[in-house]
Amino acid sequence: MAAVPRHDPHTVSHSDPLPDMAPQTLALAAGRPALFFGHSGAVLHIARGSAALAEPPVWMAEQLHWPSQTLAAGMVLRLPRTGWYQLRPLCDTVVELRERPAWFPVRQLARILAAWRRRRARIRPIHRSHKESVS
């Protein structure tokens, strides 16, 4: 059997399909940096131009390190962690940021409601007549 190459989900790719997420488009002029808050797993796509991306700081070997990389037109990057990112365009650049919308799983909600109804059915209030409570 041939070995299957491992794919790092945080690496830069030229051909990753963009997931079905809500897009935000940023048009940036050369030399005007943009600061944005990105969540882990969000997808950054350089539609046109190129830019240098500075990621949130990371504590490594008792030192603070700011990972950075240069992204060219057509590149796609899945953000590795949640935090503030700085995007410095090297020329006029158009960037798409796609993040998953916040949602609550329907199955989890159904489980919570079903458990609540079971507990409520087990613990029914005991109604006593007025005569029993007086004596």
pLDDT tier at 68 (50, 70, 90 boundaries)? very high
Identify the pLDDT of residue 9: 45
Cα of 18 vs its chain's centroid, Å: 14
Tell whether pTM > 0.75: no
Identify the pLDDT of residue 104: 67
Q: What gap in Å lies between CA 55 and CA 96, rounded to an integer?
A: 16
Domain 24-102, architecture per CATH? Sandwich (2.60)
pLDDT tier at 94 (50, 70, 90 boundaries)? very high
Number of helices (H), then strands (E), in the chain = 2, 10
Residue 98 pLDDT greater than 80, yes or no: yes
Cα dihedral sign for 52, 57, 60, 65?
positive
Residue 35 pLDDT greater than 60, yes or no: yes
User: Which has the higher per-residue pLDDT, 108 or 128?
Assistant: 108
Every domain of the chain and the residues it spans? 24-102
Identify the pLDDT of residue 1: 43
Residue 82 pLDDT greater than 70, yes or no: yes
